Chain A
Amino acid sequence: MSPDQRPDLIIAEWMEYAGGSELLRLLASRCEDCETRVFPRAATCPSCSGRNTVDTALGPDAEFYSFTVMPARGDGEPTVVGQARFEGGAVVRGYIDADEDAIPSIGEAVEVVPFVLPAAGDLEAATTFAFRRKEQAGA
């Protein structure tokens, strides 16, 4: 799906397209006193309480940190959620763009990609972020 066909980013302050339209960066803060990274952005460092945070971005590259699969009750798809760890140490939670049987291994390289949430009930369709196994060069 091209970016013009994709619905709007669900929370514009959380992410931006990286270069092209197939990867995302997460908009985060970095503490100038202790180097802690925090997503989403925060004026106060959660680690040292300092107020010297500056804007930074995480990704698109990350390391797969953990995951779980929650089977659907009744019909429907299972929910696959996980975490990725970014350079600087921040661990972020999100969807995984993979089938239940093709989830990345913990420690494997992943990247942040756009992920479309379909309309449901009162909720409009929206684009959020997900973690996907990083494509091997030439693959």
Chain B
Amino acid sequence: MREVAVIGVGMTRFGQYPDQPYAEHGVEATRSALEDAGLEWNDIQYMYCGAVNVGMTPGNRVAAELGATGIPVVNVENASASGSTAFREAYFAIADERCDIAIAVGVGKMGRIGGGGGGSRAEQLAARATGPAPPVATFAMRAHRWMAKYGTDPKVFAQVAVKNHYHGSLNPYAQFQDVFTLEDVLASRVIADPLHMLECCPTGDGGAAAIVATPAVAARLGRHPAVRVTASAFAGIRHEDEPPMTVTASRDAYEQAGVGPDDLDMVQLHDAFSIEELEYYAELGICEPEEAERLVIDGDTALGGRIPFNTDGGLISRGHPLGPTGLAQVWETTLQLRGDAGPRQIEGANTGLLQMIGAGGVCLVHILQR
């Protein structure tokens, strides 16, 4: 396996753009990543594209607008983790010597996602028999279970949203850029008790891209401090998620990178719903589950704290158009490791972990280091 470096990142501001075709988001993100790397589109040798429900061959549509250079384009769909999966495949294209420069692009157009109205007659019958089951209900039930087990006040979940919205307010590419107080979050509409609207990620559109290459290419370009991909781990779900996918994938990633939870300077993770941060603090080995609420209350996981989580606003504030979300995590971590994260910058950041969950039972964990 060859070493792999991130040499260029780009993204669009996530949000609602009903009149803009998704391919435009992909083109804008790709051009931005190419400019960041100091490359032209015809330098790219392999393309992977993550997207959900936007139609056939989305990566090819993006590539067609950039120029038909004849490169292989592979489209991947893994729900929320589509962009992370595209990134992992681009990583392997370099590591396995398939090529020297590859790009992972993610695009999202949530207006095209149906509200679960599809499915066979048997699936519709099963849904009626057991009651409505949107993702927020699943996570709300996990939140009640957590409260019963660890005695956590649901205001702590709301505080996670306050933190991530604050981080998003410092990120010009975040969908939300407003600071919300605890009172604001608790006054927002209850979606599924105990979770309020401001504790849930929005739907949205956007694009993000990351270019990976060999260290030799990175050194030749020499535009930025080197950012290395030191782990790429993937765990599929087991029955009842036991052991949890995040435990399995993160332990694999720690071993690949030769680091432990104490070595992390920051984490980006799947905070589609506020409760998830507390669960993953424990599953990533940052703390015991009963200690998780203290990390929020004491500000340990906010910017300026011991180990900031979701420094760009996370899914809750930066947004979550599915296809590009995992690549937005790469964008943020790369900027942080280069020292280019502006008002969000963590002093001396050397190591960042990226975790992404996808419906259907996938979990990807990457580690980036400078």
- Interface residues of chain A, those whose CB is within 8 Å of chain B, are 10-11, 14, 36, 46-47, 65-71, 79, 81-83, 89, 91, 93-95, 105-107, 117, 123, 126, 128-129
Contact = CB atoms under 8 A, between A and B. Distances in A.
B128 A82 contact: no
Contact of B128 (A46, A47, A117): A117
A67 B137 CA distance: 8
List the 10 closest A-B pairs by CB distance, nearest first.
A68-B140, A106-B148, A47-B239, A66-B141, A81-B131, A69-B193, A66-B145, A68-B192, A46-B239, A128-B129
Given A65-B145, A71-B193, A79-B132, 7 more contacts: A10-B125, A66-B144, A66-B148, A68-B137, A68-B193, A91-B240, A128-B130
A91 B191 CA distance: 23
Contact of B132 (A36, A67, A70, A128): A70
A68 B128 contact: no
Does more than half of chain B's interface fall in helix, strand or loop, or is it mixed?
Answer: helix
B126 interface: yes
A14 B142 CA distance: 25
A135 B158 CA distance: 36
Contacts of A36: 239
Contact of A95 (B125, B126, B131, B144): B131
Interface string B117-154: 00000000110111111001100111111001000000
Contacts of A82: 141
A70 B136 CA distance: 9
B190 to A, nearest CB: 5
B193 to A, nearest CB: 4
Interface of B: 125-126, 128-133, 136-137, 140-145, 148, 189-193, 238-240
A123 B129 CA distance: 12
Contacts of A69: 190, 192-193
Contacts of A68: 137, 140-141, 143-144, 192-193
Contacts of B142: 66
Contacts of B132: 70, 79, 81
Contacts, number: 74
A69 B141 CA distance: 9
Nearest to A90: B240
A79 B131 contact: yes
Given A69-B193, A81-B137, A11 B131 contact: no
19 contacts: A11-B125, A47-B238, A65-B145, A66-B148, A68-B193, A69-B190, A70-B193, A81-B130, A81-B132, A81-B141, A91-B240, A93-B130, A94-B129, A94-B131, A105-B148, A106-B144, A107-B148, A117-B128, A128-B130
B335 to A, nearest CB: 37
A126 B126 CA distance: 12
Nearest to A120: B128
A96 B148 CA distance: 18
B245 to A, nearest CB: 15
A95 B141 contact: no
A47 B136 CA distance: 25
B145 A106 contact: yes
Contacts of A83: 141
A20 to B, nearest CB: 22
A36 B239 CA distance: 9
